[in-house]
Structure 1
Amino acid sequence: MPRSSFELKGSSFTLSVLHLKTSNLEQIKSELVAKLALAPHFFIGAPLVLNLSQIVEKEFNIGDLKQMLAEMDLVIVGITEASNTLIEQAKSVGLASIKTGKSVNTPTIPKTTKVIKKTVRSGQQVYAKNADLIIIGSVSNGAEVIADGSIHIHGTIRGKAMAGAAGDKHSVVIAHNLQAELISIAGQYWLNDKIQEQLEQPANCIRLEQENLILEPLPF
Structure 2
Amino acid sequence: MSTDSQQNTHHSPVLEFKSSTFSVPVLVLANNDLIAIEQQLQEKIHQAPEFFKNSPLVFDLQELNNLNLDTNINKLVNIIRKLDLLPIGIRGGSAQQNQQALKLGIPSHSGHINHNPATSPEKQKPQTPEPEIAPEPQFVTVNSTLITHPVRSGQRIYASGDLIILAQVSAGAEILAEGNIHVYGSLRGRALAGVQGDTEARIFCSDLQAELISIAGNYKISEDLNGAAPNQPVQIYLQDHTLIIKDI
TM-score, normalization: structure 2?
0.64
> Which is bigger in relative contact order (C-alpha 8 A, separation at least 6)?
1
2:132 corresponds to 1:88:
no
Pick the structure with greater CA Rg: 2
The two structures, once aligned, show a CA RMSD in angstroms of: 3.3
The secondary structure found in structure 2 opposite 1:170 is coil
- The letter of the residue matching 2:99 is K
CA contact (8 A) 2:202 2:235 kept: yes
| Structure 1 position 56, deviation (Å) | 6.6
Q: Quick one: structure 1 residues 196 and 35, their matched pair in 2 at CA, closer, same or farther if it must change by over 3 Å?
A: closer
1:119 matched to 2:161: no
Task: Give yes or no for the alignment of 1:98 onto 2:128.
Answer: no
Pairwise CA distance, 1:204: 0.4
Residue 38 of structure 1: how far off its partner (Å): 4.1
Unpaired stretches in structure 2, ≥5 consecutive residues: 1-20, 114-139
Unmatched runs of 5 consecutive residues or more in structure 1: 1-12, 101-108
Q: 1:144 to 1:76 in 2, by over 3 A?
A: closer
Matched residue, 2:182: 152
Aligned residue pairs: how many? 191
1:215 aligns with 2:245: yes
Question: Residues 15-54 of structure 1 correspond to what in structure 2 (within 5 A)?
Answer: 17-22=26-31, 23=33, 24=35, 25-31=37-43, 33-34=45-46, 37-40=49-52, 44-45=55-56, 48-54=58-64
Q: In the alignment, what sits opposite 1:135?
A: 165
TM-score relative to the length of structure 1: 0.71
SS of 1:119's partner is coil
Distance 1:76 1:57, change over 3 A: farther
CA distance in 1, matches of 2:51, 2:25: 14
The 1:36/1:79 distance shift into structure 2, 3 A limit, reads: farther
Indicate conservation of the 8 Å contact 1:110/1:148, yes or no: no
Partner of 2:77: 66
Aligned to 1:79: 91
Structure 1 CA distance for aligned equivalents of residues 247 and 192 of structure 2: 19
Identify the range of structure 1 (204-213 vs 141-150) with the bigger mean alpha-carbon deviation.
Answer: 141-150
How far has the Cα of 1:169 moved from its partner?
1.0
Aligned sequence identity (%): 30
Amino acid across the alignment from 2:149: K
Give secondary structure in 2 for the equivalent of 1:213.
Answer: strand
